[in-house]
Amino acid sequence: MKDIPCKGCGGILQNKDEFRPFYTPKPLEEGEEPPYCRRCFRLRHYGEVTPTSLSAEDYRAMLAEIDTDALFVKVVDLFDVEGSLIPALTRICAARDLVVVANKRDLLPKSIKDARLKHRLNAILTANGFSPLAVALVSATKGWGVDDLISVLAEKAQGRDIYFVGATNTGKSTLLNRMIRSLVDEEGTITTSFAPGTTQGTIRIPFEDLALVDTPGLFKKNHLYNLLSASSLQAVQPKKEIKPKVYQLEPDQTVFLGALARIDFVKGLPSSFVFYTAPDVTIHRTKLLRADDFFNRHKGGDLYPPSALEELPPLSAHHFPFREEEKTDIVFPGLGFVTVKGSGVLRVFTPKGLQPYRREAII
Ligand SMILES: Nc1nc2c(ncn2[C@@H]2O[C@H](COP(=O)(O)OP(=O)(O)OP(=O)(O)O)[C@@H](O)[C@H]2O)c(=O)[nH]1
Ligand SMILES: [Mg+2]
């Protein structure tokens, strides 16, 4: 029998072994509408997540099969731009016609100008070795920019197949479902979820003279989702426009982002700090002198996430100087970022496996 992919995640369905991936209890008939695999079924009906992962080898094998002439659409997450670039994709994308889509525009404040965001994005893309034919800002969940994106893609594809690639959880499948809705006025059937690793194989959606193809995302190495439980992972992902929290900080003060990051203002002049994180992440200011004690007493409680039951690796320190002349972001991939204006030095603690980095402010 020919391989029948699950219409939710693209994994090849089987009905022999319920302990192996892509099991379905339903009979598999060629030519019939394929069922969902059990994992997609549970995800869609009960929000239950069964973790899976695609090995780097499987991923390379999948990419190797893609027609070299296809148009690539690389989807990045505006809440974690650099994290979702994935260096491994630079070389693959360099050889292709590429459009970059920056998704989740709805999470960043509406007050920021799109032109500013695009300008910063272009700078980041160039610095990372990407030279796309076009860059688009969209919100797949809200549908913002999706019709414009469709026109851009139609023009650049010229009848070639279009592959949606990128890091896991950037919203590739959500975007495709949204495009399907715009194009044929029907709900897309691809499974999406807050958990990384939702799409497991390629999903081809024929449209007119070409096909739109969803692909599994690549896992990010340095990322919070490698450390957290499902519920904490949900807590750190903002679902709607982030309301920035503004603090004026003095040297010798500390701010905690849950128990996932500790920012010590070790020296400098009083400066402004604007935090962009999900509302469920507690932001707590204290005196540097009291910080150790506070952390030990309140991690997993008042300092949430993680929950009290989750053991995280020990914290390690990173130092970031910042200067008056430029606004700087300290980014915690997956957790958010803080925009700093002023001058001084920060000492930042994060659990091993969550590597903070610094960039020129994106906002
Ligand atoms: N706020 C917001 N969330 C989005 C947007 N697009 C997708 N998401 C959310 O991001 C999460 C991941 O979406 P998916 O579409 O499953 O991501 P993916 O890139 O297909 O992920 P993989 O299949 O694991 O590679 C889900 O919780 C989506 O609801 C968006 O435009 N705005
Ligand atoms: Mg997907």
Is residue 67's pLDDT more than 70?
Answer: yes
Pocket of ligand 1 (CB under 6 A): 103-104, 106-107, 139-141, 168-174, 192-194, 196-199, 216-217, 239
Q: Tell me the pLDDT of the chain averaged across its residues.
A: 92
Q: Residue 11: what residue type?
A: G
- Tell whether 36 and 66 lie within a shared domain: no
C-alpha span between 262 and 283 (Å, rounded) = 10
C-alpha span between 248 and 124 (Å, rounded) = 28
Q: Is residue 227 part of a domain?
A: no
Closest CA to 274 of 249, 305, 238: 249
Is residue 240's pLDDT more than 90?
Answer: yes
- Tell whether 214 and 91 lie within a shared domain: yes
Probe ligand 1: pick from 174, 181, 198, max atoms within 8 Å of CB? Answer: 174
Q: Is residue 230 part of a domain?
A: no
| CA 64 to ligand 1 center in whole angstroms | 25
- Tell whether 65 and 193 lie within a shared domain: yes
- Tell whether 68 and 131 lie within a shared domain: yes
C-alpha span between 124 and 117 (Å, rounded) = 11
pLDDT of residue 294: 97
Is residue 51's pLDDT more than 70?
Answer: no
Atom of ligand 1 nearest to the CA of 142: 31
Distances in Å between the Cα of 278 and the Cα atoms of 79, 254, 300, 333, 353 are 10, 19, 17, 13, 20
Atom of ligand 1 nearest to the CA of 199: 23
Q: Residue 357: what residue type?
A: Y
Is residue 327's pLDDT more than 90?
Answer: yes
Q: How confident is the model at residue 95 (pLDDT cuts 50, 70, 90)?
A: confident
Are 244 and 109 within 8 A, CB to CB?
Answer: yes
Minimum mean pLDDT range among 49-58, 112-121, 169-178: 49-58
The tally of domains found in the chain comes to: 3
DSSP state of 299: B
Is residue 360's pLDDT more than 80?
Answer: yes
pLDDT of residue 148: 98
Are 43 and 137 within 8 A, CB to CB?
Answer: no
Nearest ligand for residue 220 CA: 1
Q: Residue 34: what residue type?
A: P
Is residue 176's pLDDT more than 70?
Answer: yes
- Name 91's bridge partners: none
| CA 324 to ligand 1 center in whole angstroms | 36
- Tell whether 95 and 6 lie within a shared domain: no
Closest CA to 227 of 48, 355, 57: 355
pLDDT of residue 27: 86
pLDDT of residue 196: 84
Q: Given 221, 253, 275, which residue is the final one in a domain?
A: 221
C-alpha span between 346 and 253 (Å, rounded) = 10
Minimum mean pLDDT range among 4-8, 48-52, 88-92, 192-196: 48-52
Q: How confident is the model at residue 52 (pLDDT cuts 50, 70, 90)?
A: low
- Tell whether 195 and 67 lie within a shared domain: yes
- pLDDT (tens digit per residue) in 124-149: 999 999 999 999 999 999 999 999 99
pLDDT of residue 33: 83
Q: Residue 259: what residue type?
A: A
pLDDT of residue 115: 96
- Tell whether 302 and 320 lie within a shared domain: yes
Strand ranges, E, within 237-333: 245-249, 253-257, 261-268, 271-277, 283-287, 315-322, 328-332
- Ligand 1, atom 11: nearest CA belongs to which residue? 194
Are 215 and 173 within 8 A, CB to CB?
Answer: no
- Tell whether 281 and 179 lie within a shared domain: no
- Tell whether 28 and 150 lie within a shared domain: no
Are 54 and 10 within 8 A, CB to CB?
Answer: no
- Ligand 1, atom 13: nearest CA belongs to which residue? 171
- Tell whether 124 and 197 lie within a shared domain: yes
Element (H, E) at 60: helix 56-64
Distances in Å between the Cα of 69 and the Cα atoms of 15, 162, 194 are 35, 10, 32
Q: Is residue 157 part of a domain?
A: yes
Is residue 253's pLDDT more than 70?
Answer: yes
Is residue 18's pLDDT more than 90?
Answer: no
Could you identify the residue written with the tokens 């100008």? 113
pLDDT of residue 63: 80
C-alpha span between 308 and 298 (Å, rounded) = 9
- Tell whether 213 and 259 lie within a shared domain: no
Q: Which pTM does this prediction carry?
A: 0.92
User: Residue 283, SS3?
Assistant: strand
Is residue 222's pLDDT more than 90?
Answer: no
- Tell whether 27 and 127 lie within a shared domain: no
User: Residue 158, SS3?
Assistant: coil
Q: Domain limits at 2?
A: 1-50
Distances in Å between the Cα of 356 and the Cα atoms of 119, 254, 278, 336, 349 are 23, 16, 17, 10, 9
Distances in Å between the Cα of 44 and the Cα atoms of 19, 26, 40, 192, 193 are 19, 17, 6, 8, 9
